[in-house]
Structure 1
Amino acid sequence: MFGSARRKATKAATEAVRPLIKLLEITDGLPAGFWEDPYVLGYINGCIGLFAKLVTRGAVKGADMGYVMMDVLSDVSGRNGQEIVRNVIRLQQSKDAEYMRGIANADKCISVTYGLTDYDQDPDVVEARRRAPVIRKELSSITGESSENANAGAALQEMLFYDVVRARFGLQE
């Protein structure tokens, strides 16, 4: 039983974050400095933390959460996750504004995807819901039918991760 929550959290977070990174690799490529960027690290670590907490109902925390983050980052980056986590800790301790914005946007995206209403009046969410029908059409041939929340979450992810990364690194859409 020991470590099973950590393994479950690592598996779920890896499965959630890997497609996020893979799509960027395929469409734009990962730019130099990607794994050091405060916003990127905030967004990705926000996703890791939220999925780890969701699947374990908050059982993973402290040092175990650190190991989850390190293992997921090692897997999805192909780099030394410990080095990335050291940078994350530095960004957390300094309360870096871009890092914190990345975490907040990951929370917003995941919350909307899973049907939580905390952000319903948020301007980004209102815009994402406006874009959701277009996303549904684009994704339905790949994923089949999806919920309104899933479509809004996909639109938010485009707005709050992919568009931000493209702008930060000067990538073409």
Structure 2
Amino acid sequence: MRIVVAITGASGSIYGYSLIRSLHQLGIETFIIATGAGENVMKYECGFDMQELAQYGTVLPNLDLFAPVASGSFKTDGMVIVPCSMNTLGAIANGMGDTLLNRAASVVLKERRRLVIVPRETPLHLIHLENMLRLARAGAEIMPASPGFYNHPTEIWELVNFMNARVLDVFGIEHQLMKRWGEN
């Protein structure tokens, strides 16, 4: 299995970092893309840079439009953009392909593969909502970073794992990141 994970400049880069680590631990081949703002926010919020993510997957420069994930003939099982800024969401919703991240998302949509977008913004205005609707109609799955609390979390990692568990569920990837409702 191959998954592309992209990190943008929205707050919440811990979600992307944690998902990339989980995919690595599960033996999933992972391709990692970050916007410039995504790299800066990750450094600020988590204290590390893209080079440190290279141990968990293949890091691709966002301006490298010749990277394998820019082509539909390169088989992947889909892409997750986590966290997804409204800037990136808007660019993808409007067919922009000027960066590797945007092009890879467009490829995933045109090839009818899974595109999971985890927006991390609040409040939302009408343009944000219309862009999300446009992407949902095109086949993307919109999963706002809204972790559940029914497991009575006591640490931030439990909240992060909840969201990442839901993302893995969309891809049908078995995991042990959270206790499911109704299970012991």
Give the TM-score, by structure 2 length.
Answer: 0.34
The structure carrying a bigger strand percent of its residues is 2
